[in-house]
Structure 1
Amino acid sequence: MGSSQGSTLSTNVAGFVDGSTARTEVSYIDTMPVYVKELIAGGAAGAFAKTAVAPLERTKILLQTRTEGFHSLGVYQSLKKILKHEGVLGFYKGNGASVLRIVPYAALHFMTYEQYRSWILNNCPALGTGPVVDLLAGSVAGGTAVLCTYPLDLARTKLAYQVVDLRGSFRSDMRSLQAQPAYNGIKDVFKSVYKEGGVRALYRGVGPTLIGILPYAGLKFYIYEKLKRHVPEEHQKSIAMRLSCGALAGLLGQTFTYPLDVVRRQMQVENLQPSIQGNARYRNTLEGLATITRNQGWRQLFAGLSINYIKIVPSVAIGFTAYDMIKSWLRVPPRQKAQSISAA
């Protein structure tokens, strides 16, 4: 049955696009396993979304970690300062590690979400087929993706934390900028961190990440699917609809879990902060929350939240929209339909 469908699609497309290349390409896409298509769609969507908001992500990290010279600045002034000292490329510092992480992360997140959702639907019929299934599947998928890609997130944060004056514009803020970076790239981060504390050091801060990602990832998928169900069928494939639902999903999900993200970032860069070099400040998530509140004020738990609102709206919106569009381009059927085809 699968081969007959593939040949039929090839014939239809060949009627519009003449040439054997078109036939071969369409047939190849049709023979790809569904989970491979979901991996491709998820990875590409993640890369598009992350690169689009890289300047805002870099600024957010600098504010969250109270980097010297930035902790008292607002979003606009921080962007100006990065541009002044590091140029346009400064906005994308750490983005290589970010994309390197987000491609497998997003690919695993979206693909395992589909897999977990399918498993829940087949094995837990009492839960029905509503958004609760999306909440559970999204949460577990988020945890799976984090555990598989966390060291890359650690590397991204450490690289983004470093501010180096590349334009020779040291003046009054000379003391706040480094002459040389502590790390020269992703590989250097991995080597140095592993040398300092082994595999465990590569997962420093994974506790608050998991505690935060489980509800956030679940809420994101739950809200997105819940909103889509209230959209008339004729508008289901509208790009504007997908962008709007994705933006609201990211906005609401991120608000509830943001303080945990601040703890994670501070745990990731604590060895780069001179005042605590070589000493662990937070032994666990609760201690991190308590210490930040006591020493830095409760407002620090929401440092960078305004820029995160600006960032998360296009990021999640672009991610969901790109995922849905690439799945359509790859002709990925709904999971239930995909199972019936493979069974036949």
Structure 2
Amino acid sequence: MGSSQRSTLSTTNVAEFVDGSPGRGELWAVDSLPVYVRELIAGGAAGAFAKTAVAPLERIKILLQTRTEGFHSLGVYQSLKKLFKNEGIRGFYRGNGASVLRIVPYAALHFMTYEEYRCWILNNYPSLGSGPSIDLLAGSAAGGTAVLCTYPLDLARTKLAYQVTGKRTSFGNGISIHTQTAYNGLKDVFMKVYKEGGVRGLYRGVGPTLVGILPYAGLKFYVYEELKRRVPEEHQKSVILRLSCGAVAGLFGQTFTYPLDVVRRQMQVQSMQSSTQGGGYSSTMEGLISITRNQGYRQLFAGLSINYMKIVPSVAIGFTAYDAMKTWLKVPPRQKSTSTG
């Protein structure tokens, strides 16, 4: 759809971002790849770097969201300290392998399909113009596409991050036992979940995920592009500016859609919880009502402060890595390729 349109920009704009390196005029193997393939590679690498950098905060956020015993009443620092005591450094990255496996195709699809959807809308519905409303529509569609393609990996990541291993559990009579995990890796999660619920089990909680990602992804791109439009042209290439706009956009979108993320997490771990912990939601609305009634309104925002803490470095690292990969792969700047029409 928009690949040929973006390809015409590569020869004129890429040279500005190579910093005069000696190899600028040499032919790379990647030069033969279509622009959209290079966007997929750049987006996937950026997502992996960003996700790994904030993995410890992501793990704590999930433990707070799902009211994991021993963590729901602790703060961020105490939770990190307890996790390190029980599981060591590896505990900070439990489930990160599944998270990275999910985020690589997710981020790749999210960035690439956003540009493709935007070009498609501009080419087929010119009456809509080229303002931020196009970014809202394209961002929402891209978010939904990426979620549907990668959701089982997100489910596995949550289940792995939810289970907490302890060195031993003591009872009043002095008997101690070692705790055991329900899943022993990504493959084990897929096998057990599929055996219990089939394909529907692998997509448990996808409803609130889609309800949340459509406005979140749309708002994120909408706010990001709108903020950039209000900045003088001579400053629009600034990395600091780009990161600042992305951070504000992420914080804005996350605040409005965060309760849906809490419902999604609780639905994903229902099979691992006892009946006294709640659960059993059959829909997003039922989950919102039940959590508010039984756990309190504040539970809908459990872990939000951690999300704020992780989204700024995540966006910063993600955008920086994405720009670096686009330079290395000789991909024209995204905002230039999507501003046509």
Alignment TM-score, normalising by the size of structure 1: 0.87
2:108 aligns to what? 107
1:269-308 map, 5 Å: 269-275=269-275, 281-308=280-307
Quick one: distance in 2 between partners of 1:335 and 1:298? 40
Mean alpha-carbon deviation: is it higher for 316-325 or for 33-42?
Answer: 316-325
CA deviation vs aligned residue, 1:162-196 (integer Å, no higher than 9, x gap): 1002xx36568999x97111000000000000000
Quick one: distance in 2 between partners of 1:321 and 1:289? 36
Shift of the 273–113 alpha-carbon distance from structure 1 to 2, 3 Å rule, reads same
Letter in 2 for 1:308: N
> Following TM superposition, by how much is the alpha carbon of 1:208 offset from its aligned partner in structure 2, in angstroms?
0.2
Quick one: distance in 2 between partners of 1:232 and 1:250? 22
Quick one: distance in 1 between partners of 2:293 and 2:59? 26
> Following TM superposition, by how much is the alpha carbon of 1:306 offset from its aligned partner in structure 2, in angstroms?
0.7
Quick one: distance in 2 between partners of 1:232 and 1:329? 27
The answer to whether the 8 Å contact 1:93/1:159 transfers is yes
1:241 is the counterpart of 2:241? yes
Percent identity for Structure 1 against Structure 2: 74
Letter in 2 for 1:333: P
2:128 aligns to what? 127
Mean alpha-carbon deviation: is it higher for 217-226 or for 315-324?
Answer: 315-324
Question: What secondary structure, in the 3-state scheme, does the structure 1 residue paired with 2:68 have?
Answer: coil
Letter in 1 for 2:262: V
2:44 aligns to what? 43
> Following TM superposition, by how much is the alpha carbon of 1:316 offset from its aligned partner in structure 2, in angstroms?
2.2
CA deviation vs aligned residue, 1:6-38 (integer Å, no higher than 9, x gap): 7xx99xx9x9637xxx866x3323221011011
1:218 is the counterpart of 2:205? no
Q: Which runs of 5 or more structure 1 residues have no equivalent in the other structure?
A: 340-344
1:342 aligns to what? none
Letter in 1 for 2:81: K
> Following TM superposition, by how much is the alpha carbon of 1:318 offset from its aligned partner in structure 2, in angstroms?
2.2
Aligned match for 1:17, one of 15, 18, 22: 22
Aligned length: 326
The CA RMSD measured in Å over matched residues stands at 2.9
Alignment TM-score, normalising by the size of structure 2: 0.88
Return the structure number with greater relative CO, CA threshold 8 A, min gap 6: 2
Shift of the 273–244 alpha-carbon distance from structure 1 to 2, 3 Å rule, reads same
Quick one: distance in 1 between partners of 2:334 and 2:64? 41
1:74 aligns to what? 75
1:265 aligns to what? 265
1:31 aligns to what? 32
Letter in 1 for 2:318: G
Letter in 1 for 2:314: S
